[in-house]
Structure 1
């Protein structure tokens, strides 16, 4: 039995096909031409396999009872990587039936003229979630990839709900395109057996990776209400970067270490040096909890995880163009804030209902908490367009034209800064040398004067004795 199919973006020209099964079987794929006709031979890939166990306990829920109090054991989880030239289409199947082919397209290469992305957050597994996936399926032919901005399954202490979420994701149409995913607070799910966090997320999904994951077993939740926790989940699918078309995406994780000297922030500094605006004019930041919004809930200054990440990362991201997040169960678009356009899409379909209570804001351009939906981001060179769609009927509820800020590369800025610093250092060295010469001259003059005084004194004594 094959189920829970989903496709992850893991790098330029690389996708990972994931599924659950009762047995390990190969994936077959075949490249397609521009008319979507088979091209070349059928190739076979042996997938990687994994399982995991999870126990909800005090570490997971603190004072709340666990919905599934027994030890959960996952089905056999399989992942097969397909590598093709960016922008190419292919078909794949997971068992040999002639009608079981599925078609996918690899996202375009960095620097390609056009990129079309579905943006959705807080998807969950309700009838509204199904409507969102169905709406995305209706636009699949015009999409290159999608982004889930955290809070995928809303398993909420019932680990078996990851299986039902992955089934809905597959059957209702979200599996028709490849995805970037990032972790939200509902993915933390610390295991009482191992003490590790993010276990289902880490085992079921793949992302681009800067380095293999580093996870500790000492997760400590101080306050779920304030999102105050001690957790180390570095690299892997915790944070990463990916370029496609005219965009360079940077995905960040609030729910791990984010102090100024944390690994995530050190990586961010290094990653921003690699951004080339001539190739990817748009710098797009993805994170679960928003930094700018006007909802009465989830304000960034009251949630410790968001506060720490924002405090450390925002000064480094002054050149970003767009920021997308979820967490707040509504849709909101900001006016540009210091040149940055912020979008909140926490209305994918979760079971915690919509938020429609707002506070006064001078930077909110459009906000609505009365519908479930997603957004379609289209980037063409240094220009772009955004449409926010209502899932139930596909209606466009908000739209705006976009433009990259034409910022210089950070590396060039730093190089210019280094040149200026070098010039300043040269001036200081010259001044120092002059000062040193002056000091030497004055010291020499003082020594000569001292010698003259001593000679005069010796002369006076000698002359006095002679008298």
Structure 2
């Protein structure tokens, strides 16, 4: 009996030893190239010689190459390769320059070794690293190729444009710019900043599993720009190399037009799984905005991102992925942001009143706003101390004019109550807007003041937002209030204290549908909370479940907001606000208040414009539902996945 038990105990060990003995000398991992020119370029990884492969065998992606087994940046299951059961296979993935070398490692992993306590944010088990089979040679990026992660922003001053980028060594770098591609003779210097692991406030941001060298962040300003001209520019240096040539259209003083692209909660995509959920739909958002930027030609524009930017959540390489992903659009138009919970919140944050215990948690992954503060540089000089050695949090609240719109940004994660610095800024800013110059005021904040999603955790926050800021918005005739946080699109009537008005009240829009796909359910009936019936209140005029963004077009007569769906790139909802304050569902010039005629009889029947609009909305909602249902059904059928609601803490 003792011998039998001993044999049973030794069988797994012997099996593993036999597997290693029979396979280790034959297993190989190779790469298509040991040198990569620039971020986004692909590399093919091949493996062979695996006897008795498991469906859970996986390829680990490591950078730096000397990282411990547990500190991978991502993984791909070998079973994703069609020929994996033969013990051989390959994958091709694009790599992002993390300013360090890469290595690929193959591990054996079986179902019996899954640890249910070690899961990623998507509730998938983290792969085990006990059985290393083979590792590749190291791969590096070629030096001298110039900076990366180029993005623009407005300084708030006429005739200027800010450009930021990243280098690996922080050596002196410049911005060359001019009015033609072959004459970029004007030069601007840059200042350099960076942050360290010790600046992070909590895990995983300050741990070996989440921290990676962020490089050096350069910040330069192009000055004395002529109005409405296309400028060409390069960044870099002779010693470190120059970037490709980019271009943008400079802003126009006292312009009578404004174009902007508005989005929230986009995140980034990686071609591998990692410790947190990635946002594949962000690819489509960038694609369609890029199309729209090309379509407007020689007009200036901007992008507004209302919080939850990269969803790095303490895993620093995701910031690198994000900036490389947005570079095709952010290098062409200014990219403006406001802070969200996933950039900032951590357990010891300075402002955390008693009522917020369920609101401000650890969503920032220990970053405490540091990458957000240094990787972006928005107008103004707002900042709040972190209470640690970390630099103060910047880019919290600011404003600027572009054309006929006054854009305002504020933080829902720091003190906004009456008497706070932020409240005083909003009060003074909104009351001093020159409505002759900018007839429209658009305010951005992350957590919404109004939503019909079933998001009960934020209820104490919304009560205080309504009590403290809504009176300012109404008193100062804010045109539109834009929010994220809820990963759906929702547009409300002009609102004050949950009451619809015909004009003069702000139109609230939730636009957190740019990429993140944790979807809270809509608010159910109060007396039947468990039943999947979600009535749409009168104040909510349009609710959409598709990913997308909002396009803003304004002139002195009207401001038009159009919801563009990622599934087809088409407009699915439109609201138009006249300079007088009147609000129309759809475009005002589409609305006809007509009358019938006819000789004799009882005359024509007058069909009111709102009946026509209601008919259009009903038809549009039905068609939108059908298109959305078919699109979603096809997507679900292709992936054989089912949609499930998630808990509110995943927002």
- Residue in structure 2 matching 1:340, options 489, 503, 506: 506
Q: Judge conservation of contact 1:55–1:192 (CA < 8 Å) in 2.
A: no
Aligned to 2:177: 30
The alignment partner of 2:513 has SS state of coil
1:365 and 2:365 equivalent? no
Question: Do structure 1's residue 120 and structure 2's residue 120 form an aligned pair?
Answer: no
| 2:333 pairs with 1:187 | no
Aligned partners of 2:403 and 2:578: how far apart in 1?
Answer: 15
Q: Is the 8 A contact 1:239 1:264 kept in 2?
A: yes
**Deviation (angstroms), 1:362:** 1.7
Report the CA distance between 1:337 and its aligned residue: 1.2
Q: TM-score, normalised by structure 1?
A: 0.74
Q: CA deviation at 1:65?
A: 11
Matched, 1:166 2:323: yes
Whole-Å separation in 2 of the counterparts to 1:52 and 1:218 = 14
Report the Cα offset of residue 388 of structure 1. Answer: 0.8
Q: C-alpha distance in 1, partners of 2:216/2:233?
A: 20
Q: CA deviation at 1:56?
A: 9.6
Deviations 1:248-275 (A, max 9, x none): 1111111111221111111122212320
Tell me which residue corresponds to 1:102: 246
Shift of 1:180: 1.4
Equivalent residues of 1:12, 1:107 under 8 A apart: no
Counterpart for residue 314 of structure 1: 470
Whether the aligned pair in 2 keeps the contact of 1:56 and 1:192 (CA below 8 Å) is no
- Looking at structure 1, the residues matched to 242 and 522 of structure 2 have their Cα atoms a distance apart, in angstroms, of 52
Q: CA deviation at 1:196?
A: 8.2
| Alpha-carbon distance in 1 for matches of 2:444, 2:306 | 7
Structure 2 length-normalised TM: 0.54
CA gap 1:98/1:190 in 2 versus in 1, 3 angstroms: closer
CA distance in 2: counterparts of 1:90 and 1:340, whole angstroms: 36
Q: Is residue 282 of structure 2 the alignment partner of residue 129 of structure 1? A: yes
Maintained 8 Å contact 1:11/1:208? yes
Which residue of the other structure, out of 431, 453, 458, is the alignment partner of 1:273? 431
1:19 and 1:256 map into 2 onto residues whose CA distance is 28
> Residue in 2 aligned with 1:403?
578
The structure with the largest helix share of the pair is 1
Aligned residues: 381
CA distance in 1, matches of 2:245, 2:557: 36
1:398-423 CA deviation, whole Å, 9 max, x = no partner? 1122223459xxxxxxxxxxxxxxxx
User: Which of 142, 152, 164 is equivalent to 1:18?
Assistant: 164
Rg larger in 1 or in 2?
1
Q: Is the 8 A contact 1:326 1:345 kept in 2?
A: yes
Distance in 1 between residues matched to 2:418 and 2:495, nearest whole Å:
23
* Alignment pair present for 1:263 and 2:433: no
> Paired residue for 1:327, among 485, 488, 491?
485
Q: What are the superposed Cα offsets for residues 181-215 of structure 1, whole Å, 9 maximum, x if unpaired? A: 11111110559999983100001001110x35342
Q: CA deviation at 1:333?
A: 0.9
2:312 corresponds to which of 148, 155, 170: 155
CA distance in 1, matches of 2:215, 2:247: 25
Cα gap change, 1:41 to 1:136, in 2 (>3 Å): closer
Ranked by relative contact order (alpha carbons within 8 Å, sequence separation 6 or more), the top structure is: 1
In structure 1, the residue corresponding to 2:185 is in which secondary structure? strand
- Given that 1:281 and 1:406 are in contact with CA atoms closer than 8 Å, whether structure 2 keeps it comes out as no
Say which SS state the counterpart of residue 154 (structure 2) adopts. Answer: strand
- Whether contact under 8 Å (2:490, 2:511) holds in the other structure is yes
1:384 has 2:524 as partner = no
Q: Deviations over 1:419-455 (max 9, x none)?
A: xxxxxxxxxxxxxxxxxxxxxxxxxxxxxxxxxxxxx
Q: Which moved more, 1:185-194 or 1:392-401?
A: 185-194
* Structure 2 equivalent of residue 288 of structure 1: 446
SS of the residue 1:18 aligns to: strand
Distance 1:40 1:287, change over 3 A: same
Aligned-residue offset at 1:12: 3.2
Secondary structure at 2:151's aligned position in 1?
strand
Aligned twin of 1:88: 229
CA 1:135 to 1:71, structure 2 compared with 1: closer, same or farther past 3 Å?
closer
Query: Within 2, Cα distance between the matches of 1:204 and 1:123?
Result: 17
Partner of 2:549: 374
Judge conservation of contact 2:205–2:316 (CA < 8 Å) in 1. Answer: no
How far does the alpha carbon of each residue in 1:360-414 deviate from its partner, in whole angstroms, 9 at most, with x for none? 3220111111x2111100011141211111124311111122223459xxxxxxx
Residue 323 of structure 1 aligns to a residue whose secondary structure is strand
> Which of 375, 379, 384 is 1:208 aligned to?
379
Give the CA RMSD over aligned residues.
Answer: 3.2
Q: Secondary structure at the match of 2:436?
A: coil
* Residues 52-92 of structure 1, C-alpha deviations (whole Å, 9 max, x = no match): 024698x646xx99886465432111111122244332111
Q: Which runs of 4+ in 1 moved over 6 A?
A: 64-67, 96-99, 191-196, 231-234
CA contact (8 A) 2:184 2:233 kept: no
Contact kept, 8 Å, 2:344 with 2:367, in 1: the verdict is no
